[in-house]
Structure 1
Amino acid sequence: MAGVSDDFEDVLHAVGPRLRALRRARGLTLAELAVTTGVSESTLSRLESGQRRATLELLLPLARAYRVPLDDLVGAPPTGDPRIHLTPIHRHGMTFVPLSRRPGGMQAYKMIIPGDGPREPDHRSHDGCEWLYVLHGQLRLVLGEHDLVLPAGEAAEFDTTLPHWLGSADGNPVELLILFGQHGERAHLRARAAARRR
């Protein structure tokens, strides 16, 4: 666990210089910041010089005064599953941001279709099953002989062995979430809205 505690100490040691740089960038004096935060000028000075250890009690009023998230204020290292790297993939003129990275099973992506005007559908087919949900924009989904327009909030599920194409319906950008099962796994919706009683 030495690596974890080393990271923690590195973050704490960097807080002082980060706070001083932020204050100077905002053009504030220690006296002005003390009035805004309610933290004494001497405490702020010792915090910036590293003579005073950063605590939540001191950092919260500073985050409010600077209007920045606490993580930005202290420069905390990224958290989360280190196996998930949100590195965009550019393919067929679209951007895919992987949201999951486990071998086999369902894969989740955020997909961004640029708003570069209408394009001629280029049908593709491959093994698998796809479930999509439109977050923003108007999606044009061509499935075999069907040509559909899905607005934000609409979802679709289809077998990807059927020739298909996704694009912008109106020439504006489209954002959607995609669940893809390479081996034909399907997204099963189990929750159902209860019938309203009269």
Structure 2
Amino acid sequence: MVVDDAAQSVLARVGPRLRALRQERQTTLAHLSRSTGISVSTLSRLESGQRKPTLGLLLPLAAAHRVTLDDLVGAPPATDPRVPARPFTRDGHTFVPLTRHSGTGRHAFKQIIETGRGRAGELERRTHEGYDWLYVLTGRLRLVLGEQDLVLTAGEAAEFDTRTSHAFGNAGDAPVEFLSLFGQHGERIHVRARPRSAAVDG
């Protein structure tokens, strides 16, 4: 009976967790329905606790929110402190997550930009609320920030108000690798935005 009570407690937290994740990412039920194939009414009932969550519903929702199933249901953290490397690519940039996604706070990424991307010419600039921090590990990073067009080399760091339009490129003849810290707005714009999307946020 103790196990049943514990399971019920976990399941009761799923609905509020789903609503909090969706609102945090400023996603509508309709948009989430299109990306998961789950009807709007089912999503609404899940969030309100009127629909019992099942694995078949939770798996696509975890994928859509880019969180683990454990994070989605609020399971106790694993004892292994290592963060699994799950690199992915957005708009020609490879991102390697360095922190677990808990749905709040800042998240760290290692970014890799291959040669020939943004060495010269115009880059797609973005703006959003918050601050970005980065540190160059190897290579030459082009940082376009407002009216400035800068090149950062290994060992250099930068921090800036992201309400200023900005963009990253590779200014060298080898891949550039750098660490970056994003808040919620920055992660949504840089990490979750699809290529060639209108990524401008108040």
Instruction: Give me the TM-score of the superposition, normalised by structure 1.
Output: 0.49
Instruction: Give me the TM-score of the superposition, normalised by structure 2.
Output: 0.48
Which entry has the higher C-alpha Rg, 1 or 2? Answer: 1
